[in-house]
Amino acid sequence: MADVIPILDLAPLQSGEPGALDRLGAELRRAFTEVGFYFIRNHGVPEALVDAAFDAARRFHAQPMETKLAMPFNNHNTGYLPMRGATTRLNALGAVQKPNLNEAVFFKRDLPADHPDVVAGKRFRGMNQWPQDLPGFRTVVLDYMRAMEALGKRLIPIYAVALGLPSDWFDDKFREPMFTLRMTHYPQQPPMGPEDEWGLAPHADTSFMTILAQNKVPGLSLRLPDDTWVDAPALDGTFLVNGGMMLRRWTNERFLATPHRVTNRSGQERYAIPFFMDCSYDAVMAPIPTCVDADHPAKYPPFTYLEFMSEYSGANYSSPEKAAAGMALQGA
């Protein structure tokens, strides 16, 4: 399976090797038209920081339940969701499944209380909630989110070239990307447990880009375009990246949003720290020019992050809290 998912080596790009960006653009274009996932290596993120983020996830979920419940998930898509606290509906495959067998905590850009968007009450632009008795936790989470945002921004020019655009075409749309870090705990599932119970039911992400640190405990599977389900390999020193429905819509469905799922029958506790990155809050996403022609007319009108996320939530949920929870749970 590792030879099916393209591996993009960022070293030539980072060293300024001539033609590196064009080669990576071609590889990414193949990834998103044939598979929907790709690996990146030589990405520059210290392995010690990734390990610290996984450890932070374990530390958070090891807290007493009443401590975690003191950070309730809200309509800004931050806070704690308890075990089986949500059911995959948005972008789900087939009928609605049982509640997902995981617990998770979510963080966004760390805005201060006096930030204009916080004061104005803009949705998805609220303040994070932080645990009170986990020394060093906030520092690790903020360091990891900064590293992931920087990595995502380094990847954006490759997307532009893959779409036949100037390398800086996306720059004004990702000046201050929206992002969410999800720190998830998947408990052990019995080997012969119910077939319709998932750690995370089959779904497609909502994001433009999902960056997933490699997990030594297996459980993630993805569905190839031929409808075959395969277990995702874990390659040391890499991140696994995929696109979601925002990328698919923005590219006029030229790029894939590949479904995936999580089942933890490893006999171990499993933790995951996916980072979901999207465009800036007020950026307008009109169909990308190179994805529209006489044979492929625009399928969607221009939209913003808020409109996109509100549309997805409003389709399946009756309250902002449930809607936010549904959107937050579209990742591995």
CA distance 130 to 134: 9
In 3D space, the residue among 163, 171, 204, 159 whose CA is nearest the CA of residue 40 turns out to be: 159
Instruction: Give φ, ψ of 100 to 5 degrees.
Output: -70, 135
Start-end of H helices in 200-280:
245-250
The DSSP symbol for 197 reads -
State how far the alpha carbon of 105 is from the alpha carbons of 220, 251, 317, in Å: 19, 30, 20
Per-residue model confidence (pLDDT) at position 193: 63
Per-residue model confidence (pLDDT) at position 269: 95
Reading the block at residue 95, the tokens are 């009928």
Per-residue model confidence (pLDDT) at position 317: 35
Per-residue model confidence (pLDDT) at position 120: 97
Cβ–Cβ < 8 Å for 57, 271: yes
What is the number of H-type helices and E-type strands within the chain?
A: 9, 13
Per-residue model confidence (pLDDT) at position 330: 44
Domains of the chain: 7-328 (2.60.120.330)
Cβ–Cβ < 8 Å for 155, 40: yes
Reading the block at residue 43, the tokens are 């990405």
CA distance 327 to 41: 29
CB atoms within 10 A of CB 227: 7
CA distance 44 to 238: 10
Reading the block at residue 307, the tokens are 């409109």
Alpha-carbon torsion 295, 301, 302, 304, what sign? negative
CA distance 67 to 79: 12
CA distance 300 to 286: 8
Q: Which regions of the chain are under pLDDT 70?
A: 1-2, 84-97, 192-196, 312-332
Q: How, if at all, do strands 275-280 and 209-213 pair?
A: antiparallel
Residue 277, CA atoms < 13 Å, CB-side half-sphere: 24
State how far the alpha carbon of 285 is from the alpha carbons of 250, 258, 306, in Å: 6, 21, 11
In the sheet with 260-262, reading across from the earlier edge strand, the strands are 200-203, 260-262, 220-223, 229-231
Per-residue model confidence (pLDDT) at position 195: 66
Per-residue model confidence (pLDDT) at position 318: 37
Partners of residue 184 on adjacent β-strands: 104, 272
Per-residue model confidence (pLDDT) at position 244: 95
